[in-house]
A and B are shown apart, each in its own frame.
Chain A
Amino acid sequence: MKGTLKKLGVAVAASALALTSLSVPAKAADAKTTLTFAETRVGGVGIKQVEPPWLNSGSLTQGAMFRALFKAGPDMTTVKPDLASGYKVSKDGKTVTITLKSGLKWSDGQAIDADDVIWSMNSALRVTKINANYTTSFKLIDGASAVTAANKVNMSGLTAKGNEITIKLGAPQPLLIPILAQFIILPKHSLENEDLLRLDTSKFWLNPVTSGPFKVGTMSPDNFITLVPNANFEGPKPKIQEINVVSSAALLADARSGKIDYFITQDADTIRGMKAVNTFKSYQTSGAPFHRYWVFNLTDANNPLKNVKAREALKYGIDWVNIVKAAYPHGKVINSGVPSGLPFHLKSIPTYKYDVAKAKALLAEAKFDFSKTVRLRHYHVGPADLIFMSAVAQQMQALGMKVELTRFVGDATTELYTNKNYDMALKGLSTFDVSEWFGEYSNANFAKILGAQPKYAELNAQLATAVTLKQRAKALTALQELEQEDLYKLPTYLLPAYVFVSKRIAGAPTKYGPWLYLYENNFLNWTLS
């Protein structure tokens, strides 16, 4: 027996060593040409694959590997050629012609052609994980409604002749080109036999065929990705020869010790802490604001906030300015879906002012039932979010309300629109265009908590097809007025992101566009010292 136990001990030790010697091939990195990028967007542990670019596409990793037809400037409105050399819009705005550059190649040597573009745009309507920007936009193309995952029918309004792609729209769509500047074209030849419904988990993402200046060199799931130059890229050769994509366990400490060179974050404490790190430069990102706002479950007759006056009381009964400042020092309190400072913001909307007496008067006017408990929910998990939520709960309690605050246990979509076990919930939305914010009021999900909203639907249709600035201003003014009248959503704050760039990087831009979107960042000319 003694012998057996001893053997057992030896076996345990041996297997520990055997397991730990599983190795990952990699070569020694040259600090002068290797950039380490901390991927901050993916929640939780590590990196599992190259993030499929059809949901969000703004990370440095995706920008280095994938390309769209056009490349946006940091302002997101002007576009430059990328895979396409140019485009033309017909006079009535209903026909768009795009010319593809010729001689382009995928990283595996195959030609990039119009078929890839047509396949990609049709597939976007078949996959399950897709950014609403693309589906909303592509559904305006003729014949889009016929495309589903169950068939092989393609959009009749999307055709190609040689390098010329023609898009026919039911109505003029001013956002199509900026959206196409975000939409990544994927290689048809590698993906056409994949199950599109589960495209985001395909093995393809472990070593994707790319169109950009880089491709995957080493993929170590859960740990890191190493990107190396793509020899088939037609543009100038990048000065950086290797990109390590890691997921930092502690951004501040890793940045200070020089383990990472570049990252983006919204985390208030990290942003504050980075001020003391003088080896980095910081920039606030612009465009595509991150909205945080309250949604109310108004189909529930028992919701104590069903009366609009009760919701209005929240504007004044909670010290939004100071709470936001405490939880997110860089956050900005907003009072409208079109935040102040942006074009078409309605200046007549009063800003939130902490005024308990006014709040109490409004609650009295609403005949607020203080015996009912307000079920307060959120799904964000960051420490700052917890700080924010508990401060709000405390101040609601100070108004005399009973409050029950918990995080949604299930996934946010189910909890918000199906289970609906809440009275008010904090939601987030990153809007490429302000139409997304107002689009929520009339979409299918919100109908489950608000009921049908034909008024919003009509105004949203006007906004979507507004070609002139005057038409746009008119639609947005009407929408903002309606929003204030109904208070179905209570706009609360914007959460900016910050880019941190190591000073050893030269040639990096001084102006950064929105976090989750692709734009020209001059990456090919970055150098390291």
Chain B
Amino acid sequence: MIEKPPSTAKLMISNFVRNTTGMIGLAIVFLVVTSSIFAVQISGYDPNMFDGANTSLPPSTTHLMGTDQLGQDVFSRVLYGGRNSILIGVLASFLGNLIGTVLGAIAGYVRGKFDTILIRLSELVMTFPQLVLVLIFVTFLGQGVANVIFIFAITGWMTTFRLVRSEFMSLREEAFVEADRAFGFSSKRIIFRHLLPNTMSPIVVAFTINTAIYIIAEAGLSFLGLGVPVTTPTWGNLLAAAQAPVVVEQYWWLWVFPAAAIVVFVTGVNFIGDGLRDVLDPRSRTQVKEASFGSTLKQKIFGSRKRNA
């Protein structure tokens, strides 16, 4: 039997505030987001300013992270690039979660043929190497910020889908849903008023984890020169400079700093995810008997923490 979460928002927030990992994560994310919003003010340079006299300079007091081949300030570009990278990660994750939630809710509630097709599809998409899948879509759709977000979303809805689906499957058998049905409530009302709110916690956790995954994925894709157009600075596009071995060797500041920004931010997001998992998932504090094989997916999201608390 699954215990119902003690789900008042207030309680959750106060629990989260007491969660060290989560709060550290939140502080990191807040810091990175704020500084990327005020990129120009903080660095003192226009990220797109071409300066032919100061090209490829190593880090110094005037340029904290040095300059690139066009004399642009790397610090400013790293901060500025954060805007787009974070935006892409968050939007793609949101969209992917939305797709996953809608499909999961329908599949879990309606079941039948529809469910079988979706579950097969999700299995296939999930086991297909994501980067290869993304690359295939890039070939068809071309490069662009919107395209990248869309591609990430349609290649990354499965985790949420399966979570929501299995949550719905178990919840729809619960007494309170039975009662709803007995009262003659419409399916729509049951889904939106009663079932969805009860599945929010895994969705929120999946959202943070996917955000982290997409930011790394964007970096990889742009490193290959197949991500967002170069005129949109992102951490990945900055890292693309490292495609040239000479840049890797001689201008380390061009790729180490953007990579460090990714690591810092993604660690922050993952910490928030860990914190949220502790707070939101009742199972993290209860012993649940889980079949070792069947729920590898849940393990992926919840597993590592379930015995740590």
Whether A383 contacts B52 in the complex (CB less than 8 A), given A326-B69, A391-B70, comes out as no
A362 to chain B, nearest CB (A): 21
Within 8 Å by CB of A403, from B139, B231, B241, B247, lies B231
Chain A contacts for B69, CB-based, 8 A: 326-327, 384, 387
Say yes or no: A326 contacts B229, CB within 8 Å: no
Stretch at the interface among A68-76, A248-256, A330-338, A424-432: A248-256
The reply to whether the CB of B284 lies closer than 8 angstroms to some CB of chain A is no
A407 touching B50 in the complex, CB below 8 Å, given contacts A252-B249, A393-B231: no
- Which residues of the other chain, B, contact A164 by a CB distance below 8 angstroms? none
Kindly list chain A residues whose C-beta atoms are within 8 Å of the C-beta of B139.
409
The interface residues of chain A lying within 8 Å CB-to-CB of B245 are 249-253
- The A/B interface has a contact count, at CB < 8 Å, of 82
Chain B binder among A265-273, A304-312, A441-449: A265-273
With a cutoff of 8 Å between Cβ atoms, the chain B residues found around residue A251 in the complex are 245-246
Residue in A319, A323, A383 whose beta carbon sits within 8 Å of that of B240 in the complex: A383
A322 CA to B250 CA, complexed, in Å: 22
Q: Confirm or deny: A404 has a beta carbon within 8 angstroms of a beta carbon on chain B.
A: yes
CA A252 to CA B139, docked complex, whole Å: 32
Q: Is the CB of B50 within 8 A of A383?
A: no
A207 at the interface (CB under 8 A from B): no
Query: Closest residue to B142 on the A side, CB-wise?
Result: A409
Q: Tell me which residues across on chain B come within 8 A of A327, comparing CB atoms.
A: 69-70
Do residues A326 and B52 form an inter-chain contact, with CB atoms below 8 A?
yes
Bound-state CA distance A326–B54 (Å) is 10
B52 x A322 contact (CB < 8 A): yes
- Give the number of chain A interface residues (Cβ < 8 Å): 35
| Least CB separation from B52: chain A residue | A322
Residues of B within 8 A of A381 (CB): 225
Interchain nearest-CB distance for A258 vs B (Å): 16
The answer to whether A326 and B249 touch (CB under 8 A), given A267-B244, A381-B225, A393-B231, is: no
Given A405-B229, A406-B144: A273 and B250 within 8 A (CB)? yes
Q: How far is the CA of A397 from the CA of B229 in the complex (A)?
A: 15
A326 touching B55, Cβ below 8 Å: yes
User: Is the CB–CB distance between B231 and A387 below 8 Å?
Assistant: no
Q: Is A325 an interface residue (CB 8 A)?
A: yes
B160-180 residues at the A interface, CB under 8 angstroms: none
Contact B241 A390 (CB under 8 A): no
Q: B247 near A269 (CB under 8 angstroms)?
A: yes
Q: Are A267 and B50 in contact (CB under 8 A)?
A: no
Shortest CB distance A205–B (Å) = 28
Q: Which of B143, B240, B245 has the most CB of A within 10 A?
A: B245
Q: Kindly provide the distance from the CB of B124 to the nearest chain A CB, expressed in whole angstroms.
A: 23
Q: How far is the CA of A404 from the CA of B147 in the complex (A)?
A: 14
**Chain B CB within 8 A of A220 CB:** no
- Of the candidates B142, B243, B248, which one forms a contact with A406 in the assembled complex, judged by CB atoms under 8 Å apart? B142
B48 adjacent to chain A (CB < 8 Å): yes
Q: Is A394 an interface residue (CB 8 A)?
A: yes
What 0/1 readout, one digit per residue, does chain A (47-60) give for beta carbons within 8 Å of chain B? 00000000000000
Contact B230 A269 (CB under 8 A): no
A387 to B245, CA, bound (A): 16
Distance in Å: Cβ of B138 to nearest Cβ of chain A: 8
- Chain A's closest residue to B69 (CB) is A387
Set A253, A386, A394: member contacting B249, Cβ < 8 A = A253
B contacts with A: majority SS: loop
Q: Let me know if A484 is at the binding interface, CB within 8 A.
A: no
CB distance from A271 to the nearest CB of B (A): 9
Task: State which residues 383-440 of A face B: CB under 8 Å.
Answer: 383-384, 386-387, 389-391, 393-395, 397, 403-407, 409
- Which chain A residues border B240 with CB–CB below 8 Å? 383, 386
The size of the chain B interface, using a CB distance under 8 A, is 27
Interface residue ranges of B132-155 to A (CB < 8 Å): 138-139, 142-144
In the complex, how many angstroms separate the beta carbon of A439 from the nearest chain B beta carbon?
Answer: 31
Does chain A have a CB within 8 A of B71? yes
CA distance A498 to B65 in the complex (A): 31
Say yes or no: A394 contacts B50, CB within 8 Å.
yes
With contacts A267-B244, A383-B241 taken as known, whether A409 is within 8 angstroms of B249 at the C-beta atoms is no
CA distance A59 to B83 in the complex (A): 46
* Shortest CB distance A507–B (Å): 29
* Cβ contacts under 8 Å, A391 to chain B: 50, 70
Residues of A within 8 A of B244 (CB): 267, 269, 382-383
Residues of B within 8 A of A383 (CB): 240-241, 243-244, 247
Residues in A whose Cβ lies below 8 Å from that of B248: 250
Complex interface bits, A293-323 against B, C-beta within 8 A gives 1, otherwise 0 = 0000000000000000000000000010011
Chain A residue, CB-CB nearest to B233: A390
Q: Provided the pairs A326-B69, A405-B230 are in contact, do residues A273 and B52 lie with their beta carbons within 8 angstroms? A: no
A-contact bits for B217-259, CB 8 A (1 contact / 0 none): 0000000010001110000000011011111111000000000
Report which of A326, A390, A407 forms a contact with B71, defined as CB distance below 8 A: A326
A406–B70 Cα gap in the complex (Å)?
A: 19
- A384 nearest CB neighbor, chain B only: B69
CB distance from A257 to the nearest CB of B (A): 12
Which chain B residue shows the least CB distance to A250?
A: B245
Q: Is the CB of B247 within 8 A of A405?
A: no
Complex interface: chain B residues within 8 A of A407 (CB)? 143, 225
- B71 partner residues in chain A, CB cutoff 8 A: 326
Find out whether the CB atom of B50 lies under 8 angstroms from the CB atom of A269. no
- Most B CB contacts (10 A, CB to CB) among A390, A403, A407, A409 go to A390
Evaluate contact between A325 and B52: CB separation under 8 angstroms: yes
Between A and B, 29 residue pairs with Cβ closer than 8 Å are A250-B249, A253-B245, A253-B249, A269-B250, A273-B249, A273-B250, A319-B50, A322-B52, A323-B50, A326-B71, A327-B69, A327-B70, A381-B225, A382-B244, A383-B243, A383-B244, A387-B70, A389-B230, A390-B230, A394-B50, A395-B50, A404-B229, A404-B231, A405-B229, A405-B230, A406-B142, A406-B143, A409-B139, A409-B143
5 A-B pairs with the lowest CB-CB distances in the bound complex, closest first? A250-B245, A322-B52, A269-B246, A383-B244, A405-B231
A residues lining the B interface (CB < 8 Å): 249-253, 267, 269-270, 272-273, 319, 322-323, 325-327, 381-384, 386-387, 389-391, 393-395, 397, 403-407, 409
Known: A319-B52, A383-B247. 15 other contacts (CB 8 A): A249-B245, A252-B245, A270-B246, A273-B246, A319-B50, A322-B52, A323-B70, A325-B52, A326-B69, A382-B244, A383-B240, A386-B230, A390-B231, A405-B230, A409-B139
Interface residues of B (CB under 8 A from A): 48, 50, 52, 55, 68-71, 138-139, 142-144, 225, 229-231, 240-241, 243-250
